[in-house]
Structure 1
């Protein structure tokens, strides 16, 4: 089992070593793609609401939409799924883009195929650099390997400290920025990273697994207190690469994760190579491994609304996870801002909230919980027939039985919060977990 000292020693070592991906570099000139035709008026109003940064203004816009008789569930769903248009945006290599997150300016590098067409949905690969590198350096090593079906974005974070809450916010903000500007297929967003970037891939990917079509962490690992969060990857494929002779991040870190995934029955790919780099030793990503990884990307498509989910949460991550959200719990661990340093008793004991949910039969949802006091289900017609009664069984007791109500307000509010055109929910159902009888 891994421990905190192993991870910390590895992080200190990697900060002194320049990590080489050893992939061919390249660039592209900048041009402009042609815009799509303008959207219909209702769709324009819907997207104006979804994209409005000011919450007060957004609420006014929402009330206007709800007062419009044309704002129906069918019309809104159709508009969100198919009605967004994308403006003329640069294509090619943009090595120094900027974004402000928590009042701090960060940089990211972006590559858009010269053949980009706004009418087509593209895959998006998000790559997190290691210590001693920056996003633009990784961009050069990746962009020509992906081909014309992918956008590539590589944010830069100081020292490659992707295991912090600030870095997590940056990655999510960059993804939302790129999705707002370019036509990204939300079912083909991938997160990958090398060394410290691989640690970030694990942490961000596990806490936000429902956003990604796949994770590809390289030469990285996890502290043992974080291993329970692997359960969140129930429907998120993983491709792991690690060098057997890695002297910075010991290969046993990835071997442990692979064993944990196998133990909980999650299929994954584990690639262990014997190669060494003149400067980085075994701590690098060999170019020979890339074709198989890109082929794997090509084969993955996210299931946006799976019929079964597992979610593990500590107290600082209570955002929705797919179609469920943990709302209140017994006392559980709460991570510090760097997500790894806090070592109080609840963290050492891995005291986390757990929820397993599945559509067990038509209009019957079964839930098993641990340390959860209240949770919320977000439903749509992919999960239940809203014209018929729905039964929710929690810990083998019926906790809800009856009709549920679909509303366009729920649809719009959830669409704005999630920014995901494939995860649209019209029903919000809060469930109080009953304490077992003594």
Structure 2
């Protein structure tokens, strides 16, 4: 399944009837009657966010009917950067019109936590914690709250996603109330208390409760949908820094962290499971710092054994790729399943996401029927029908070259460490998203896939591409002005310089 907006569904991009016209802010239209660019952009986002216009993974520009014709007045980094400000405000205005802010919890202010565990005065705290239910597109209801602690840093709030322990109800009969298992309710309350009184860094803390105790796992699609909605909404309305979003969890929440961090690694700045160990897709953690916090005697369900295995694998990967795979295994001596959770948020908060890593290692794999079609500056237009894709891409800015190794394994299971993806990737087109942080877009560049040149030339920056990528990714860092579609089953051709 393909994520194109906030819903986990495959969609198609229809013809857009809105005419864009861009004036002195850096944009031009071929239409005689010019309109304000901010208003035009807002109108387009309104249609996208309402579902009137839907998007596929195939970028605009491959079909002239898919998007309005937009051009920068000057094909420059400065013009693109200037337009990004207008674009973000238009996106925010459209999201406000669509009522997105009402779909996420309001922040509840709590006192700052010091190293001694005492609550120090900050912004006056709210009298109570506001708990709401977020509802997914398939009707799953997730109780949750958002806590705001301390003072906002200059670049915006860090956001900590904190998943509780517990898990799946194993009674003989199915619960009639999906929130009826007292274990998950207790662990939810405990996680709120930890976020209020134990976790020290200033920031926003999102604490969700399991949406369905009969299913009881954090990797289900409804959680993916709601977590991504929460992240987008907090960036839009609460000034969360998109480069400082963290994920952590205790016990079952630790398992969830191990599953979700590799799947959505491009969303997070760091990840840390606590009191949990599981098989994970290690390779995807190349650019995501990963810490496991676990007790020395936490042997049930092989937790410490699996945590140790994870970090052995990460160390092997780090040795072969020293620029990546930052990781830490912290074993608390004498402890079992109950450990000190306070070190983890401090460690998480030390990290900032780099949305444009020079090297990307991506195993496009499935979790509860969901494949993430985007990963940093790469996308696929079709996710695997089975198995996984294995893609390694590296940029050399000095030579203006991108080298990609792309393969597929229709029968492989990524979590089991199967690395036999030896068929050249042909089941999908591959999209390379570019900006001036990755390459000098004023100069020609070359993209090779499996040793063969797939693109050679220059591609102009376009605001329609920026708008489209922002609508899909919900993150201005990923509003790339250039998309190169590599049709891997076709004969590549060089493009002339524009």
Q: Give TM-score, length-normalised by structure 1.
A: 0.73
Question: Which position in structure 2 is the counterpart of 1:27?
Answer: none
Partner of 1:294: 345
Partner of 1:29: none
In 1, are the aligned partners of 2:272 and 2:348 still within 8 Å (CA)? Answer: no
Query: Are 1:311 and 2:362 matched, yes or no?
Result: yes
Q: In structure 2, what is the Cα distance between the partners aligned to 1:309 and 1:57?
A: 31
Kept in 2, the 8 Å contact 1:109–1:136? The answer is no
| Counterpart check, 1:113 vs 2:128 | no
CA distance in 2 between partners of 1:136 and 1:205 (Å): 24
1:414 aligns with 2:475: no
Distance 1:65 1:112, change over 3 A: farther
- In structure 1, the gaps of 5 or more residues are 1-40, 277-281, 334-351
Return closer, same or farther for 1:130/1:262 CA change in 2, 3 Å cut-off.
same
1:193 is the counterpart of 2:249: yes
Name the counterpart of 1:139: 192
Distance change in 2, residues 1:199/1:78 (3 Å): same
| Structure 2 CA distance for aligned equivalents of residues 143 and 306 of structure 1 | 34
Distance in structure 2 (CA, Å) of the matches to 1:294 and 1:309: 26
Kept in 2, the 8 Å contact 1:108–1:136? The answer is: no
1:47, CA displacement in angstroms?
5.9
Cα distance in 2, alignment partners of residues 73 and 376 from structure 1: 20
Per-residue deviation, residues 374-413 of structure 1 (Å, max 9, x unmatched): 3110111111222222201111121211222321111001
Change beyond 3 A, Cα 1:330–1:147: closer
The structural deviation recorded for 1:178 is 2.6
Equivalent in the alignment of 2:82: 75
CA RMSD of aligned residues (A): 3.4
C-alpha displacement of 1:82: 8.4
Residue in 1 that maps onto 2:277: 221
Q: Which residue of 2 aligns with 1:167?
A: 223
User: Does the aligned pair in 2 maintain the 1:194–1:220 contact within 8 Å?
Assistant: yes
Specify the alignment match of 2:32 in structure 1: none
1:230 counterpart residue number: 282
**Greater Cα offset, 96-105 or 324-333:** 324-333
1:12-31 per-position Cα deviation (integer Å, ceiling 9, x unaligned): xxxxxxxxxxxxxxxxxxxx
Q: Counterpart of 1:261?
A: 314
Residue in structure 2 matching 1:122, options 128, 153, 157: 157
Q: Which has the higher helix share?
A: 1
Residues in 2 aligned to 1:330 and 1:201: alpha-carbon distance in whole angstroms? 23
Unaligned 5+ runs, structure 2: 1-35, 56-65, 110-127, 167-182, 319-324, 409-424, 492-498
In the alignment, what sits opposite 2:460?
405
**Cα shift at 1:434:** 5.7
Contact 1:91 1:116 in 2 (8 A): no
Cα separation, partners in 2 of 1:184 and 1:329, compared to 1, 3 Å = closer
| Inter-partner Cα distance in structure 1 for 2:39 and 2:310 | 46
How far 1:91 sits from its partner (Å)? 4.0
Partner of 1:327: 381
1:35-70 deviations in whole A, cap 9, x for unaligned? xxxxxx8557646755763121689xx978959989
Question: Within 1, Cα distance between the matches of 2:442 and 2:400?
Answer: 10
Pairing of 1:53-92 with structure 2 (within 5 A): 53-56=49-52, 73-80=80-87, 91-92=108-109
How many angstroms does 1:130 deviate by?
Answer: 0.9
Paired residue secondary structure (1:422): helix
1:127 Cα deviation from its structure 2 partner = 0.5
SS in 2 for 1:264: helix
Instruction: Show the counterpart of 2:122.
Output: none
1:207 deviates by 0.7
Match of 2:305 in 1: 252
- Distance in 2 (alpha carbons) for counterparts of 1:67 and 1:379: 17
Q: Distance in 1 between matches of 2:245 and 2:301?
A: 26
TM-score, with structure 2 as normaliser: 0.65
Aligned to 2:295: 243
The offset of 1:94, in angstroms, is: 3.2
CA offsets 1:115-164 (integer angstroms, 9 cap, x no match): 559x7601000001111234443122123444463000011113341132
Contact kept, 8 Å, 1:364 with 1:390, in 2: the verdict is yes
| Contact preservation (8 Å) 1:194, 1:285 | no
Query: CA separation of 1:141/1:90 partners in 2, compared to 1, >3 Å: closer, same or farther?
Result: closer
Q: CA deviation at 1:432?
A: 2.7
Q: 1:46 to 1:221 in 2, by over 3 A?
A: farther
Between the two proteins, the alignment pairs up a number of residues equal to 363
